[in-house]
Amino acid sequence: MSASGSTGMNGAESLVRTLLGSGVNTCFANPGTSEMHFVAALDQIPGMRCVLGLQENIVTGMADGYFRIAGNPACTLLHCGPGLANGLANLHNARRAGSAIVNIVGDQATYHRPFDAPLTADTDGLARTVSSWVRTSARAADVGRDAAAAVHAARIAPGNVTTLILPSDSSWEEGGIVADCLQVNRYAALDPHDVDTAADMLRRHSDVLILLGGQAVLETSQRLAWRIARATGASVMLDWVNGRVERGLGRLPFDRVPYSIDVARKALDRYKHIILVNCKAPVSFFAYPGKPSTQYAAGAQVHVLSRATQNSEEALAALAEALKAPEVELPQSGPRPEIANGKPTPEGLARTVAAVMPDQAIISDESVSFGRGFYAQTFNAPPHDWLHLTGGAIGDGLPVATGAAIAAGGERRVIGLQADGSAMYSLQSLWTQARERLPVTTIILSNKKYNILIGEYEGVGAVPGETAMNMLDLGNPCLDWVKLAQGMGVDAAKVDTMEGCAALMTQSFTKRDPFLIELLI
Among the listed residues 452, 325, 337, the one whose alpha carbon sits nearest the alpha carbon of residue 392: 452
CA 217 distance to own-chain centroid: 14
Residue 257: count of CB within 10 angstroms of its CB: 21
pLDDT value at residue 447: 84
CA gap 188, 73 in Å, rounded: 19
Rg (CA), the chain: 24
In order along its 521 residues, the chain shows pLDDT tens digits of 444 444 589 999 999 999 999 999 999 999 988 888 888 998 889 999 999 999 999 999 999 999 999 999 999 999 999 999 999 999 999 999 999 999 999 999 999 999 999 999 999 999 999 999 999 999 999 999 999 999 999 999 999 999 999 999 999 999 999 999 999 999 999 999 999 999 999 999 999 999 999 999 999 999 999 999 999 999 999 999 899 999 999 999 999 999 999 999 999 999 999 999 999 999 999 999 999 999 999 999 999 999 999 999 999 999 999 999 999 998 888 899 999 999 999 999 999 999 999 999 999 999 988 888 899 899 999 999 999 999 999 999 999 999 999 999 999 999 999 999 999 999 999 999 999 999 999 999 998 766 665 565 566 566 767 776 677 677 788 899 999 999 999 999 999 999 999 999 999 999 999 999 999 98
Q: What 3-state DSSP class applies to 350? A: helix
Q: Is the pTM of this model over 0.75?
A: yes
8 Å CB contact between 299 and 207: no
CATH number, span 346-520: 3.40.50.970
Q: Are strands 161-167 and 133-136 parallel, antiparallel or unpaired?
A: parallel
Task: Determine whether 5 is exposed, middle or buried from the number of CB atoms within 10 Å of its CB (0-12, 13-18, 19+).
Answer: middle
Q: Do domains 3-179 and 192-323 have the same CATH topology?
A: yes
Superfamily for domain range 3-179: Thiamin diphosphate (ThDP)-binding fold, Pyr/PP domains (3.40.50.970)
Is the Cα dihedral 481, 484, 490, 493 positive or negative?
positive
Q: Are strands 178-179 and 273-277 parallel, antiparallel or unpaired?
A: unpaired
Q: Are strands 178-179 and 3-5 parallel, antiparallel or unpaired?
A: antiparallel
pLDDT value at residue 4: 46
Among the listed residues 6, 12, 27, 34, the one whose alpha carbon sits nearest the alpha carbon of residue 112: 34
DSSP class of 393: -
CA atoms in the 13 A half-sphere facing the CB of 296: 23
Among the listed residues 40, 4, 42, the one whose alpha carbon sits nearest the alpha carbon of residue 22: 4
Among the listed residues 366, 374, 367, the one whose alpha carbon sits nearest the alpha carbon of residue 348: 374
Q: How far is CA 159 from CA 21, 133, 186, 189, in A?
A: 19, 12, 9, 16
CATH number, span 192-323: 3.40.50.1220
Residues in the chain: 521
Q: What 3-state DSSP class applies to 441? A: strand
Where are the domains positioned within the chain?
3-179, 192-323, 346-520
CA 511 distance to own-chain centroid: 26
Task: Determine whether 449 is exposed, middle or buried from the number of CB atoms within 10 Å of its CB (0-12, 13-18, 19+).
Answer: middle
pLDDT value at residue 449: 63
Beta bridge partners of 301: 273
